[in-house]
Amino acid sequence: MTVEKAIDSAAATPPDGQAGFDSRRALALARQVLSTEAAAITALATRLGAPFAAAVELILNSSGRVVLSGIGKSGHIAHKIAATFASTGTPAFFVHPAEAGHGDLGMIAPGDVVVMLSNSGETDELVHLLPHLKRQGAAIIALTGNERSSLAQAADVHLDAAVDSEACPLGLAPTASTTAALALGDALALALLDARGFSVEDFARSHPGGALGRRLLTRVRDVMKTGAELPVVTLDATLAQAVVEMSGKGMGMTAVVDADGRVSGIFTDGDLRRCLDRVKDFGAARIADVMTRAPQTIGPERLAIECVDLMEAPPKKLALLVVDAGGRLVGALHMHDLFRARVV
């Protein structure tokens, strides 16, 4: 069903909310737009073949970067594809074709691959750049809707992004064509990601400010308490001394170490509650007799997010001791430290 027929088939209803607005007509159009754009992307998948593989190989074997270029709506799509390339392991940036003729062409170097987006394949600003790009020694990938166009014919590789029709009811606004170009650009970026063996850790390094970056880049050493903030007593301490240390440091626990600084145990708020009914003299009782032995520990170079699983494992705990390879105490962290670091 065409867009016009879909709209006409929606029965007229009284004005809904504002004069002249027909909610059923709007919904019918919206559904048809989505169906048209989905069909355009599905058609792309059936047409993918050797040119797509050639484009991936061309970029993989290039010694330079990927440069995206387009004008108008295609330019906006090119901007987004460049950002996707850059964040998934393929250095890329956008060059405006009009600005390229006024100095920005110097941003493009031999060995670069220029991906040019134009639905018609005849955009003047892009076509005029062709001889200059070839003189620069750049390879060209054209992403167009017309395989007989000037861009398609001049390119080293042409990617066919043709659509049967735009989703616009007037048949004018770039809609299905820009959606198809964006999807094809995403497919190219992700095929390169896979070919490069780009990992989750690599992705995190490109997104250090996001939640994924924090989870995959933040180490225990980045969030743990150390030095004067670290609650710790020795094995010969009294229960009273341990309670003072635990209360003063505000972590709800204190580490217990031997003379060499190796962790012997931990004493928590829970341990304190459990011993209240059996300890008569806090000044005389020894911490070694009431502490929890062999507590859960973690190394400083482990990912902070790993602490969550250790804390959630029975028996659940709110704090972890951090030890070096020799079992010596180097820090401690509380679940609140993970929240403050926005790891969880």
Q: How far apart are CA 78 and CA 96, in angstroms?
A: 10
How many other CB atoms are there within 10 angstroms of residue 6's CB atom? 19
- Give yes or no for residue 149 having a pLDDT over 50: yes
Closest C-alpha to 163, from 6, 29, 32, 42: 42
- pTM, full prediction: 0.67
Q: Where is the domain boundary, 198, 233, 267?
A: 198
Is 17 a domain residue? no
- Give yes or no for residue 232 having a pLDDT over 60: yes
Closest C-alpha to 51, from 182, 136, 152: 152
Is 179 a domain residue? yes
SS3 185: helix
pLDDT digits (tens, 9 = 90+) for 114-125: 999 999 999 999
Reported as type and span, the H/E element at residue 284 is: none
Instruction: Supply the mean pLDDT for the chain.
Output: 90
pLDDT confidence band for 15 (50 / 70 / 90) = very low
What pLDDT does 10 receive? 46
Expressed as residue numbers, the domain containing 175 is 46-198
Q: Where is the domain boundary, 163, 198, 233?
A: 198
pLDDT confidence band for 204 (50 / 70 / 90) = low
Statement to judge: residues 103 and 162 lie in one domain: yes
Is 331 a domain residue? yes
Is 69 a domain residue? yes
Statement to judge: residues 253 and 148 lie in one domain: no
Statement to judge: residues 136 and 248 lie in one domain: no
pLDDT digits (tens, 9 = 90+) for 61-93: 999 999 999 999 999 999 999 999 998 889 999
Statement to judge: residues 76 and 164 lie in one domain: yes
What pLDDT does 215 receive? 73
Is 10 a domain residue? no
Statement to judge: residues 144 and 271 lie in one domain: no
Statement to judge: residues 107 and 169 lie in one domain: yes
Q: Where is the domain boundary, 198, 229, 255?
A: 198
Statement to judge: residues 151 and 265 lie in one domain: no
Asked if 292 and 265 touch (Cβ cutoff 8 Å), the reply is yes
Statement to judge: residues 193 and 232 lie in one domain: no
Q: How many domains does the chain have?
A: 2
DSSP secondary structure letter of residue 227: G
What pLDDT does 176 receive? 95
| Orientation angle between helical segments 176-196 and 50-60, nearest 10 degrees | 50
pLDDT confidence band for 8 (50 / 70 / 90) = low
Average pLDDT over residues 316-342: 93
CATH of the domain at 123: 3.40.50.10490
Asked if 158 and 188 touch (Cβ cutoff 8 Å), the reply is no
Statement to judge: residues 78 and 182 lie in one domain: yes
Is 67 a domain residue? yes
For residues 34, 39, 40 and 43, what is the CA-based torsion angle, rounded to 10 degrees?
160
Statement to judge: residues 263 and 168 lie in one domain: no
What pLDDT does 11 receive? 42
What pLDDT does 14 receive? 46
Least confident of 78-82, 98-102, 254-258: 98-102
Is 66 a domain residue? yes
Is 125 a domain residue? yes
Q: How far apart are CA 165 and CA 180, in angstroms?
A: 11
Statement to judge: residues 84 and 194 lie in one domain: yes
Statement to judge: residues 87 and 151 lie in one domain: yes
pLDDT digits (tens, 9 = 90+) for 191-203: 999 999 887 776 7
